[in-house]
Structures are given as structure tokens and as C-alpha cells.
Amino acid sequence: MTEELNPFKIAQQELDSAAEIMNLDKTAHTLLREPKRIINFNIPVKMRDGETKVFNGFRVLYNDARGPGKGGIRFHPLESLDTVKALAAWMTWKTSLANIPFGGAKGGVICDTKNMNAYELENLSRGYIRALGRAVGPKVDVPAPDVYTNPQIMAWMMDEYTKIVGHEEPAMITGKPLEVGGSEGRFNSTAMGGMYVLRESARMINLNLKDSKVVIQGFGNAGMFAFDIATRLSGAKVVGISDSEGGIYDPNGIDYNKLVDAKKKTGKVQGYDKGEKITNEQLLELDADVIIPSAIENQITSANADRIKAKIVLELANGPVTPEADAILFERGVLDMPDFLVNSGGVIVSYFEWAQNMAGYYWTEDEVYKKLDAIITRSFNEVTATQKDYASRGKKISPRTGAYIVAVDRVARAMKLRGWY
């Protein structure tokens, strides 16, 4: 049987597995297998040369039983509705697991930002918000940055929304620049949250991070900050790193500052002048204590899961481990910490930004990190407690299944209390 790699079908498969174990009500299960609302629209954009191009955009509100939708906007040439639906589902579980008052949503536009200038990007960003109108907003659905979108794009979108509603509404979107209502600590919050999960995971299996070897797949924002934070705060040694063009391996450790310089000068990780050049596939199978996939989905599958040597897999990317691979890793005793726990730092600090905007009162970076640490550590403990509870009843479950059970139960209870079923 061929392994399923469609992201939305994987999301449904993961939900189905958890639903069976927890004996989820059939009506609740049916409601949670599909999005509540899908908006598919065209965006006419005037380009710099005077031509008008039409871009296809989406916004998926998966579930809002626990609060307004929450989820990023992706600008990508290979964006698809199935990917956006899957990410909206995972956002539903992510906000629920963190126990913050949001549901799950996601958006995207099929476009190639590498071939667009700032004028065209601004027109596209404003057009996206005009197309959605009041289908987004601080009490409806709150977007944020994602793949190939950034704080500047969020600022343009917020400004366009202001024109639509006729007043300032900074809480309608998160991930904004500090000057227009952004939060301290937001930019590296995904990696910071992941490092808190790594700390707790290492404690649980008695791994001394100071003496550990770490491999990171991906050197975008999340991977770059994970490298910096892991080495500074825990003393771990990063021995392998990659980007889309390949990676490098140096058992003596990779120098972060020299790597950043090499990446800036050459545009690729393999511009680093030390170590051995390797492929992304080889990187995942290196002899290391911790692997941090922080790039794209479906990187550890049934084809390579039995060759993973790490003690901990920390899923900083969305969907980097397939359900089949998760089962293999669990059977082998590898601690695979699921994406919607590990990378929830971004949405948790987005919640902080939304709350600060709503209140008009702003926190310091230290306050943000302390609150982030408290929430994500609580989530970690709830997942492990659920695993122990099921183990006591003779049913061993993986951390991913434990996280699903916690998150799905909360959403199902909210739907039940609202009278949806």
C-alpha cells in the first residue's frame, strides 16, 4: 500500500486515529473532518509594467468553536487548497492544545514572490484583504505571516482593513512590525517555543543537552533561530544543517556566525567552508541526539524512519513526519514530538499580540517569553500525562496521539456546549 502524502488526507488520518482511541462522538468526528468554511477567490493585481494579473487565493476557517479563527497567510507558487485545509486543521489542534481562545484557519495565494517587486506585493496584499472583507477581523478570523509573507505584508493588510471598517483595528492581524502594534518576541517565537519543548523532552529522557549533537533541516527563520537559541541557551552542538539546496556536516560543530555570513554571501548553506557536503536525505540520518526538521512536510516517512538515529525528533516544521513514520519511530523508542506542540510558540505569541492590541497595553520581551514558557510547558505536561493515563489502561500511545486527544477533546466539548451536536 502506497504511503499517503496528501497533507489534508494525512490530517484526516491523524484525526481518525485519535478519534478511534478516545471514542469520539460520531457527529463530532464528522464535523471535525472537514472545514467549516472555505473561501476561494481571484485577486486582480496591477503590476509594475501596467499589466493586470489575476491570482488565485484561499481562506479556510476550519473550526471556531473555541474562538475566532487563527492562522497564517502563505504566498507560494505551489500553494494548494489541500495544503491550506490541512494547515487550518492543524491550527485548530494547535490553538486548542495551547488552550488559547482561538480556532483554526489558514490562507494562501498562488504566486511567486521572488519574481514580484514591493509595489506588486503591496497590491496583492491589499487585494487579498479586500477580497475577504469582513470575513476576517479580531473577533472573526485573525491572519498572520507564513511562508513568503512577513511583517511588512501584515502592515499593508492591516492598513487595508482599516479602510474597509473605517477605524483602526490592529488586532485584526498579528505578526506586525512593532511600530504598528506588533509584539516583542514574536519574530523568533516559533523557535523559542520549540526550544522549551526540547528542554522538557531532554529532561524526560535524561539527555544532557550540553553534551548533545543536534541536526537542523532548514535554515529559514525557524531553523536559523533554533540554531542560535539551542547553542546559546543549552550549549548543544549543531553538527548538521541544510537548506533546500543541500547541507553540511561537521562532527566538530558548525559556527553559527560563519554559517550566517556564508549563507548571505553565497545564498546557500553549502557556501560554508568547513565540513562535508551532504544531501537533505543524508542529513536526517546523521548520528545525532536531536533532529529538528524545520523545512517542509513529509521529510521522515516509512521509507527512512527506521534509519533515524536520533533520540529526539523535534518537529519545528508543519507535517515533517508522516503517520506511518511516527508509528515506526514510536515503536523504536524515538521521542517524536509533534509539530502542533513544538511549533506552537508562533501562535501563542500571536495570541499575546492580539491580546495586547485589544487591551492597548504592551509587554516586554522577558514577559512574553515567561508567558510563552508557561503555556507551552503546560501543554507538554498535558500530553505526557495523557500518555501515562492511557498506558495505565493498557494502551500505549505516541506523543502525537496524546496531543491529538487533548486538543480534539477540547474542541469537541466546546462544540457540544454550544449545541452544535
Cell triple for residue 58?
484561499
For every residue of 99-165, DSSP letters joined together read T-S--EEEEEEE--GGG--HHHHHHHHHHHHHHHGGGSBTTTEEEEE-TT--HHHHHHHHHHHHHHH
Asked whether the beta carbons of 95 and 103 are under 8 A apart, the reply is yes
Which residues 6+ apart lie within 8 Å of 125 measured at CB? 149, 153, 156, 157, 160
Q: How far is the C-alpha of 97 from the C-alpha of 379, rounded, in Å? A: 6
Work out the end-to-end distance of the chain between its first and last CA atoms, rounded to an integer number of angstroms: 35
CA dihedral 129, 135, 136, 139 (to 10 degrees): 160
Q: How far is the C-alpha of 83 from the C-alpha of 10, rounded, in Å? A: 10
E strand residue ranges, 150-209 = none
Q: How far is the C-alpha of 106 from the C-alpha of 141, rounded, in Å? A: 9
β-strands 237-243, 213-217 pairing:
parallel
Question: Among 383, 369, 27, which Cα is nearest to 196's?
Answer: 369
Task: Supply the residues annotated as catalytic.
Answer: 106
Q: How far is the C-alpha of 148 from the C-alpha of 84, rounded, in Å? A: 14
Cell triple for residue 365?
520581551
Residue whose grid cell is 554559517: 259
